[in-house]
């Protein structure tokens, strides 16, 4: 059975039996796509397994990569209202070379919808990390590529990282991660100050980052048969 298992695993695109240490939450979108496919298989409906209708892209393998980065506790926070700084890192090498990246969506879940305090407004900045860290130094933020105001610290934000992920996939040494900084907007009087600490502590506790990657395996998915005009 051992040999056959290896053969079957290879067929599945795996080189050995995965033995995950901890179970990752399955995001709603993957569950939905899976259940829609199962329902279509039961009804015998035709399925294009090389397109992900819900996401509007071509692809037959969807991966949710968890963030493997860590919080940064730098003394000189860039601004007084800085709430948190985090290095985000995603392990892209899981993508096999014959797969073409068709989507890379960063998901930042700021935490559950709470109603007791709809504030303060946040400013969220994402930078590329372009220089490798020296020892345990704080990675230096490089090029800013997202600056977004968020009315309050709740809900899930999505950012298109396709070009960045393609660059990382083609040049793995460039994948040094992303530098995330969240600032509290507005002046700091004592009330806000209390909220700031409370908000930042809650954000640090609930922030969950992940990268949803869709790839198209050309060997299993022939170019979409466009109708010739």
Partner 1 sequence: SAIPANKASCKNLCHRHQLFINFRDLGWQKWIIAPKGFMANYCHGECPFSLTTSLNSSNYAFMQALMHAVDPETPQAVCIPTKLSPISMLYQDNDDNVILRHYEDMVVDECGCG
Q: Which residues bind partner 1 (CB under 8 A)?
A: 5, 12-14, 16-24, 26-27, 30-31, 33-34, 37-38, 41, 44, 47, 49, 60-66, 91, 94, 220
Question: CB of residue 204 vs partner 1: minimum separation in angstroms?
Answer: 21
Other beta carbons less than 10 A from residue 177's beta carbon: 20
Between the alpha carbon of residue 187 and those of residues 81, 148, 209, the distances in Å are 8, 18, 28
Question: CB of residue 84 vs partner 1: minimum separation in angstroms?
Answer: 22
Cβ closest to partner 1, residue 20 vs residue 223: 20
Q: Which structure tokens are listed for 105?
A: 């969506």
Question: CB of residue 3 vs partner 1: minimum separation in angstroms?
Answer: 13
**Alpha-carbon span 14 to 7, nearest angstrom:** 10
Cβ closest to partner 1, residue 11 vs residue 73: 11
Residues in the chain: 229
Cβ closest to partner 1, residue 124 vs residue 209: 209
Residues of 49-60 as b/e, b for ≥16 C-beta within 10 angstroms?
ebbbeebebbbb
**Alpha-carbon span 204 to 96, nearest angstrom:** 33
Question: CB of residue 13 vs partner 1: minimum separation in angstroms?
Answer: 7
Question: CB of residue 158 vs partner 1: minimum separation in angstroms?
Answer: 17
Cβ closest to partner 1, residue 13 vs residue 155: 13
Cβ closest to partner 1, residue 30 vs residue 192: 30
Spatial CB neighbours of 111, under 8 Å, sequence gap ≥ 6:
153, 154, 202, 203, 205, 206, 207
């Amino acid at each position: 059975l051992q040999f056959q298992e290896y053969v079957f695993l290879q067929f599945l695109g795996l080189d050995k039996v995965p033995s995950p240490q901890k179970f990752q939450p399955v995001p709603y979108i993957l569950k939905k796509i899976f259940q829609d496919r199962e329902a279509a298989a039961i009804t015998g409906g035709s399925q294009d397994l090389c397109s992900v209708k819900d996401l509007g892209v071509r692809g037959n393998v969807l991966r949710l990569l968890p963030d493997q980065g860590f919080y940064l506790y730098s003394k000189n926070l860039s601004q007084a209202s800085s709430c948190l700084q985090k290095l985000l890192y995603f392990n892209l090498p899981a993508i096999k070379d014959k797969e073409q990246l068709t989507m890379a969506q960063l998901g930042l879940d700021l935490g559950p919808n709470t109603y007791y305090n709809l504030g303060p407004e946040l400013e969220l900045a994402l930078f590329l990390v372009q220089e490798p860290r020296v020892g345990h130094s704080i990675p230096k933020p490089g090029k800013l590529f997202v600056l977004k105001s968020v009315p309050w610290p709740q809900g899930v934000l999505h950012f298109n990282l396709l070009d960045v992920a393609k660059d990382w996939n083609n040049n793995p040494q460039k994948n040094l991660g992303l530098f995330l900084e969240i600032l509290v907007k507005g002046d700091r009087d004592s009330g806000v100050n209390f909220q700031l600490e409370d908000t930042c502590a809650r954000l640090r506790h609930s922030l969950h980052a992940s990268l949803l990657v869709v790839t198209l395996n050309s060997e299993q998915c022939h170019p979409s048969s466009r109708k010739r005009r």
